[in-house]
């Protein structure tokens, strides 16, 4: 980046703001490409924008009356601006997309529900390569194929590869321990290189065939297999010919079952279509690699009603490819305004020529129409669900006498067994239903908390959660906090929030199980209001029960996972200076970890390799 333009300090009470403030900035701005940021009086980020010419772009905001009501509101709220001058407009575009994705400004179009995608990995650090699903950094030696739209898309392809090529998917430890073929070999899903049912040279040929299939070379692969089948028949090796025949039949079945969703006209590309309706948009992304459809995903970017489909798709593409591999072709159903600039930015990031194609006819046109139809159907489902959820939240608002429907509900629960492996957890719900990406857990850390003290556990969770909310302005506060418990839990939460100054910023509600823990007869508690019940079989009551049960499911699931992990761990694992060798020696000498725990220092010193100092360390670890 070439550098930064001057940033003005801002004080709304002592200086200009809104259009007047922006006019002051314009006087000092260069006519160079760059990125600008607009802030409100609370240092909240309003908007991030890019410009080929910063001076001209920012000047446009001074013509206040020419903008929509929404943009006028943003201009009025602006009390500070910051600028970064870049070397090119392409660099400005990439920086803008990165800042929007990271900082989530209020007035920008924002890609939500972004995530990494899974791959198929052919692992090459073993004499008999393993084929497996992979997500994350590509640190393992091997060939990666993807991305796939979802884990289910990967699983379907792995199932295909096992049927057609009989590749192993077991771990190296299982491979090394086999003395006879496993069930997968019996059902013709694995060629069993582990027990020598196939030699490594022939297994390597299977791996090469599978990779050809993943690279879209199915026709060449089919021709080669037909030739090998005929050669085997001529040699009267009918068993080998039968294997080639079975593989050809599997490939034929795959092709006939999915040909309508595959592509013949291009190898690698993403087909991306947007559909807008009801003030919302859905973007469908189909992944094609080697001419094969590797799944699709639906995205619902946040935007205003004033934004056009082309503008939304333009911004979506810039953010979507920030952290994903970019194919040679991106096929879209809109003539986006910054197509050339975006092509340049994606090519720069991908290190090769990237084309953005808006087809008017042919197979590519059919593919984007298919993606658009999927986008339309996905948006219709979402709008129906949102309407139902909005109605439910309105009923909840009336039942609880709230000022307005809650945008964010956090539901808290604890889980433990007699105080062991204690965790606190909360789930999140809102206008779009359960927001599972927002779920969080807390390991109970306070040493003063007595085992099984639910009130103390709830205090710790609330103190940690709301202290963080106070410190971090970028986090969203809950409008309603639902606590699984009665008057005692509510009192503990209320006192904790009052101590840290967070009580006035949210509404508290406790849900206590009915007599004999009978669902449908729950009692509710709210500060400043007598306890009450809700009429049975009402949507609001069912909704609160469902939220309570989801929080309980999440908390107990996390607790069980923690307990399972602890059961698998060795009590000696945490002792400093005890590695695998000494651990093995100690267990061999004493017979069990419990016996090591009960041993005295002199007893420990009798073990080979255990000095006085190390014996004292082991003893103190267990008797602290």
Taken in order of first residue, the domains within the chain and their CATH numbers are 19-103 (3.40.1440.10), 119-261 (no CATH), 269-378 (3.30.420.340), 409-566 (3.30.420.340), 580-622 (1.10.150.20)
Which pLDDT belongs to residue 259? 43
Residue 580 buriedness (CB in 10 A; 0-12 / 13-18 / 19+) = exposed
Closest of 535, 532, 385, 409 to residue 476, by C-alpha: 409
State the Cα–Cα distance between residues 598 and 621, nearest whole angstrom.
Answer: 11
Q: How far is residue 235 CA from its own chain's centroid?
A: 54
What is the DSSP code string of 259-282? GGGS-SS-SSEEEEEEEEETTEEE
The rounded distance, in Å, linking the Cα atoms of 269 and 273 is: 13
Q: How far apart are CA 378 and CA 274, in angstroms?
A: 11
- The predicted model gives 449-475 an average pLDDT of 85
Q: Rounded to whole angstroms, how far apart are CA atoms 494 and 462?
A: 9
3-class DSSP state for residue 96?
helix
- Answer yes or no: are the C-beta atoms of 49 and 57 closer than 8 Å: yes
Structural contact between residues 526 and 507, judged by C-beta atoms closer than 8 angstroms: yes
DSSP state of 15: S
Is the pLDDT reported for residue 2 higher than 80? Answer: no
> Closest Cα partner for 269 from 332, 336, 360?
332
Q: What is the pLDDT of residue 3?
A: 52
C-alpha pair distances (Å), 505 with each of 110, 403, 480, 597: 26, 13, 10, 49
pLDDT at 260 (0 to 100): 46
pLDDT category of residue 552 using cuts at 50, 70 and 90: very high
Cβ of 267: how many Cβ atoms within 10 Å? Answer: 17
pLDDT tens for 25-82 read 999 899 999 999 999 988 889 999 999 999 999 999 988 888 888 899 999 999 999 9
590 CB neighbour count, 10 Å cutoff: 17
Alpha helices (H) along 401-475: 454-471
- In contact, 431 and 389? CB cutoff 8 Å: yes
Distance CA(263)–CA(290), nearest Å, equals: 9
- Residue 581 corresponds to which tokens in the numbers above? 């060798």
Reported as a pLDDT band with limits 50, 70 and 90, residue 254 is: low
Closest C-alpha among 155, 64, 91, 167 to residue 124? 167
Neighbours of 401 (CB within 10 A): 10
Beta pairing partners, 231: none
Q: Is the pLDDT of residue 161 over 80?
A: yes
Q: Residues of 425-464 as b/e, b for ≥16 C-beta within 10 angstroms?
A: bbbbbbeeebeeeebebbebeeeebeeebbbbbbbbbbbb
DSSP H or E run through 440 = strand 440-443
- Contact between residue 317 and residue 274 where contact means Cβ atoms under 8 Å apart: no
Q: 13 falls in which pLDDT band (50, 70, 90)?
A: very low
Residue 617 in contact with residue 603, Cβ under 8 Å? no
Q: Which of 171-175, 205-209, 546-550 has the highest mean pLDDT?
A: 546-550
Only one residue has tokens 């160079």, namely 32
Pairwise CA distance, residues 252 & 263, whole Å: 16
Q: Which two tokens stand for residue 215?
A: 């690279």
45: closest CA among 36, 54, 55, 33? Answer: 36
Strands 34-39 and 80-85: antiparallel
As a whole-number percent, the residues of the chain with pLDDT over 70 amount to 90
Residue 12 pLDDT > 50, yes or no?
no
What's residue 350's pLDDT?
A: 86
The DSSP-derived string for 214-252 is: HTT-HHHHHHHHHHHHHHHHHTT-HHHHHHHHHHHHHHH
Which single residue is written with the structure tokens 């990125």? 35
On the question of pLDDT at 14 being above 70, the answer is no
pLDDT of residue 7 exceeding 70, the answer is: no
Give the dihedral sign, CA 85/86/88/90.
Answer: negative
Q: Which of 320-324, 343-347, 445-449, 578-582 has the highest mean pLDDT?
A: 343-347
Neighbouring C-alpha atoms within 13 Å toward the C-beta of 524: 21
Q: How confident is the model at residue 225 (pLDDT cuts 50, 70, 90)?
A: confident
Res 257: pLDDT: 44
Q: Peptide bond before 147: cis, by omega within 30 degrees of 0?
A: yes
Does the structure show a pLDDT above 90 at 250? no
Residue 20, helix vs strand vs coil = helix
* CA distance to 44, 45, 392, per residue, from 103 (Å): 10, 8, 31
More confident residue, 576 or 378: 378
Local structure of residue 193 (DSSP, 8 states): G
């Amino acid at each position: 980046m070439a550098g930064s333009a001057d940033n003005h300090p801002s004080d709304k009470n002592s200086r200009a703001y809104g259009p007047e403030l922006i006019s002051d900035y314009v006087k000092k701005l260069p006519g160079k490409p760059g990125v600008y940021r607009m802030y409100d009086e609370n240092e909240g980020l309003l908007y991030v924008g890019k410009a080929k010419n910063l001076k001209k772009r920012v000047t446009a905001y001074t013509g206040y009356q020419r903008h929509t009501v929404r943009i006028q509101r943003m201009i009025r709220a602006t009390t500070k601006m910051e600028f970064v001058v870049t070397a090119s407009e392409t660099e400005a575009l990439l920086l803008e997309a990165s800042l929007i994705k990271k900082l989530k400004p209020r007035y920008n179009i924002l890609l939500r529900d972004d995530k990494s995608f899974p791959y198929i990995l052919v692992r090459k650090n073993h004499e008999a390569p393993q084929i497996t699903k992979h997500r994350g950094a590509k640190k393992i030696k091997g060939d990666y194929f993807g991305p796939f739209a979802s884990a289910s898309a990967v699983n379907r392809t792995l199932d295909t590869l096992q049927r057609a090529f009989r590749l192993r998917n077991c771990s190296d430890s299982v491979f090394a321990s086999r003395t006879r073929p496993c069930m997968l070999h019996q059902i013709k899903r694995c060629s069993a290189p582990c027990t020598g049912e196939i030699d490594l040279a022939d297994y390597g040929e299977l791996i090469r065939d599978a990779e050809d299939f993943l690279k879209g070379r199915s026709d060449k692969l089919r021709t080669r297999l037909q030739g090998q089948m005929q050669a085997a028949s001529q040699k009267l090796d009918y068993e080998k010919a039968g294997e080639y025949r079975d593989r050809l039949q599997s490939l034929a079945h795959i092709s006939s079952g999915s040909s309508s969703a595959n592509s013949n006209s291009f190898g690698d590309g993403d087909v991306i279509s947007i559909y807008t309706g009801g003030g919302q948009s859905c973007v469908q992304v189909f992944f094609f690699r080697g001419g094969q459809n590797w799944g699709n995903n639906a995205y619902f970017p946040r935007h205003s009603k004033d934004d056009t489909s082309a503008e939304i798709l333009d911004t979506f593409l810039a953010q979507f490819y920030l952290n994903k591999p970019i194919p040679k072709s991106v096929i879209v159903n809109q003539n986006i305004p910054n197509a050339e600039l975006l092509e340049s930015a994606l090519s720069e990031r991908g290190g090769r020529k990237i084309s953005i194609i808006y087809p008017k006819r042919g197979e590519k046109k059919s593919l984007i129409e298919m993606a658009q139809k999927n986008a339309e159907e996905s948006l219709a489902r979402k709008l129906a669900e949102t309407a139902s959820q909005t109605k439910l939240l309105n009923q909840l608002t009336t039942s609880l006498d709230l000022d307005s429907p809650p945008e964010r509900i956090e539901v808290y629960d604890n889980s433990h067994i007699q105080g062991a492996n204690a965790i606190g957890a909360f789930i999140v719900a809102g206008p779009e239903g359960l927001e599972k990406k927002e779920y969080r857990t807390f390991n109970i850390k306070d040493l003063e908390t007595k085992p099984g003290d639910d009130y103390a556990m709830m205090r710790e969770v609330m103190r940690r959660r709301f202290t963080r909310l106070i410190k971090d302005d970028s986090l969203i506060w809950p409008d309603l906090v639902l606590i699984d418990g009665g008057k005692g839990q509510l009192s503990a939460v209320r006192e904790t929030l009052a101590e840290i100054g967070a009580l006035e910023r949210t509404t508290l509600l406790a849900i206590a199980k009915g007599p004999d823990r009978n669902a449908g007869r729950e009692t509710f508690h709210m500060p400043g209001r007598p306890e009450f019940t809700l009429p049975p079989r009402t949507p609001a009551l069912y909704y609160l029960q469902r939220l309570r049960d989801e929080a309980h499911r999440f908390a107990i699931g996390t607790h069980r996972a923690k307990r399972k992990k602890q059961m698998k761990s060795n009590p000696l694992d945490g002792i400093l200076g005890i590695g695998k060798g000494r651990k093995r020696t100690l267990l061999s000498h004493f017979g069990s970890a419990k016996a090591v725990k009960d041993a005295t220092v002199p007893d420990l010193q009798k073990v080979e390799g255990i000095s006085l100092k190390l014996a004292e360390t082991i003893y103190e670890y267990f008797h602290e």
